[in-house]
Amino acid sequence: MTTEYLEETEHPKLKLQSPLDRSGSLKPAKNKVEIVTTGLIIIFSLGFGVVMGLTFISVTKSQLTGSGGILMFLGNVAAMVGTYLALVLVVLVSRNYILEKVLGQDQLVHWHKKLAPWALILISVHVVFTTIGFAQYSKSNVFSQLSSFVTSFPNMITAIIAFIFMAMAGSISIKYIRLRIKRELWWTIHLLMYVALIISFAHIVGLGPAFVGHPLATHFWTVLCIFVAAIILYFRFAMPIYKNLYHNIRVQSVQPLTDELTNIICSGYNLNKLRVSGGQFFYWRFVAPGIWWQAHPYSVSAMPSDIYIRLTVKSVGDFSKDIRKLKPGTRVLIEGPYGTFTKYRQVARKALLISGGIGITALRSLLEDLPTKSQPIVINRVTSKDELVMHNEFLELIKLKKGALHEVIGARDVVKFNAPMMKKLVPDIAKRDIFLCGSQPFIDHTLSSLHELGVQNDYIHFEVFSL
């Protein structure tokens, strides 16, 4: 049976009880984002210019006019630019907390997805053009030339393996395929991109026309690759290892809330020094049989204390289902915090928080962290009343923050959560900061309604939950 339910609880007369009342502003945050973005574009452009310059100065007129010369040159250009983009891709997802803090992981992943196809296309163009160009030069067919590459050119076998790995990583990221495979498989194959870059280095520097007889190009690419490797080693390995040794986090208790939702209470040392803001997330790795090698992103569902931190997980895959079987004392490894879905994005004085489904977890910690003067209104949109497992917690926080709580319950085709309903629940909606969290369809639908109500883009902040 479909449940339709709408509850409003207001507490306009309660006084401030929070010991802290720090406010954030999107104006300086936005300026910082623009500055960092501009800086990254300049660095990227300078690097691209150096790559192109070193590639062009390495070619001679006789090489271009010779048989197959044009194709070999274009293949070389494609290889250099494609490899450069591949290095940029791994930097974007290196979990660099400096970039994450300003730009947010969503933005970095967005750029990663936009650039990734071009890197794979260019490297594929390199393979095709170079093979055809050499075939024309040696006056042989393409298949004979491929055989000659393997048997006569050093480091060619590793280069072919690297290309296969890149093609595999690119193929499984196609949306149609990505939606039909488990995240664990996608993540494992995606790691092959790192292997591909490592084993292809000798091929690039040893055989690339831009490097033969050009020590400047060799030094530049060597330094560039070492720099990228240092970023990966520091942010993906060194910092997480240090942080986890220091905080020594372990599972304290596992608390099933419903058939799908579970609270994981973790304990550790000086957890309040994690510098996490409400709405942020960590990558969580539980050192338990069968799942120790996987790290998944989950938001904190409550602000950490000195010794406790909590996450709330929805069982939608093998990993999240296995979490319910964790035993107290299991070691927990974390990376983060990540995300810019925090109070520091706030522009207006007042705030409105809207969640869809499991998005309620991020809003729970965000609400706790918001300044009281925000007078936050919370709208939790769920399909059934059973999903409102944090009702009492939201109610207590709303009392503290002098706000209002609305719970909209029912199937989408029965209970219409649209612009008229939002306007009825929040008459001053166009004057509030909107913090929106949920699935992509929910985000898209709600954004459309907010724009219909005249809410400016600068006042809208959202976090997409991919389950």
DSSP state string for 193-251? HHHHHHHHHHHHHHH-TTTTT-HHHHHHHHHHHHHHHHHHHIIIIIHHHHHHHHH--EE
Predicted pLDDT at 263 = 92
Domain boundaries, the chain: 5-23+346-464, 26-239, 248-338
Average model confidence (pLDDT) across the chain: 82
Please tell me the predicted confidence (pLDDT) of residue 404: 93
Cβ atoms 235, 96 nearer than 8 A? yes
* CA proximity to 76, closest of 126, 119, 111, 39: 126
Give pLDDT, residue 466.
62
Name the 3-class secondary structure at 262: strand
Mean pLDDT of the region 257-277? 90
Higher pLDDT, 27 or 410: 410
**Whether the predicted pLDDT of 123 surpasses 60:** yes
Confidence grade of residue 11 (pLDDT, cut at 50, 70, 90): very low
pLDDT tens digit sequence for 167-226: 888 888 887 787 777 777 787 788 888 888 887 877 776 666 666 566 787 888 888 889
CA-CA distance, 382 to 391, in Å (whole number)?
Answer: 12
* Closest by CA position to 280, among listed 337, 360, 347, 202: 337
Mean pLDDT of 438-463: 89
Q: How confident is the model at residue 37 (pLDDT cuts 50, 70, 90)?
A: confident
* pLDDT of res. 346: 85
H/E segment holding residue 41: helix 26-56
Q: Does pLDDT of 247 surpass 80?
A: yes
pLDDT one-digit tens code per residue, 356-377: 888 888 899 999 999 888 899 9
How far is it, in rounded angstroms, from Cα 391 to Cα 337? 25
Residue 14: pLDDT band with limits 50, 70, 90:
very low
Band of residue 5 on the pLDDT scale cut at 50, 70, 90: very low
User: pLDDT tens digit string along 60-102?
Assistant: 777 777 787 888 889 888 988 999 999 999 898 888 877 877 7
Q: Which DSSP symbol is given to 16?
A: P
For residue 409, give the 3-state DSSP assignment: strand
| Mean pLDDT along residues 233-251 | 92
**pLDDT band at residue 265 under the 50/70/90 scheme:** very high
Fold annotation for 248-338: Elongation Factor Tu (Ef-tu); domain 3 (2.40.30)
Average pLDDT rounded to a whole number, residues 250-276? 91
CATH number of 5-23+346-464: 3.40.50.300, 3.40.50.1100, 3.40.50.80, 3.40.920.10? 3.40.50.80
The DSSP bridge partners found for residue 250 are 267, 331
Percent of the chain with pLDDT over 90: 28
Q: Measured between alpha carbons, how far is residue 244 from residues 96, 127, 290, 293 in Å?
A: 17, 43, 20, 16
Please report the pLDDT score of residue 410 as a whole number. Answer: 87
For residue 27, pLDDT beyond 60: no
pLDDT band with cut points at 50, 70 and 90 for residue 465: confident
DSSP assignment, residue 412?
T
Strands 460-464 and 377-382 come out as: unpaired
Mean of the pLDDT values across residues 245-259?
92
CB 301 within 8 A of CB 348: no
Of 267 and 169, the one with more pLDDT? 267
Contact status, residue 267 vs residue 160, Cβ threshold 8 Å? no
Please give the Cα distance from 147 to 125 (Å, whole number): 19
Instruction: Centre a 10 Å sphere on the Cβ of residue 79 and count the other Cβ atoms it contains.
Output: 26
**Residue 380 in 3-state DSSP?**
strand
At residue 210, the pLDDT reads 61
The Cβ of residue 448 has, within 10 Å, a number of other Cβ atoms equal to 11
Side-chain half-sphere exposure of 37, counting CA atoms within 13 A: 11
Q: Give the residue with greater pLDDT, 334 vs 201.
A: 334
Query: How many residues comprise the chain?
Result: 467
Residue 411 pLDDT grade (very low, low, confident, very high; cuts 50, 70, 90): confident
Structure tokens belonging to residue 409: 């319950």
Residue 3 region by backbone torsions, left for phi larger than 0, else alpha for psi between -120 and 50, else beta: beta
Record the pTM. Answer: 0.71
Burial of 242 (C-beta count, 10 Å sphere; 0-12/13-18/19+): exposed
Pairing type for strands 296-302 and 351-356 reads: unpaired
Burial 127-153, CB ≥16 within 10 A → b, else e: bebbbbbbbbeeeeeeeebbebbeeee
Token look-up 């954030």 returns 24
| pLDDT value of residue 246 | 94
Is the peptide bond between 337 and the residue preceding it cis, with omega within 30 degrees of 0? yes
Q: Name the token pair of 21.
A: 């009342």
Are 400 and 20 in contact by the 8 Å Cβ rule? The answer is no
pLDDT of residue 211: 62
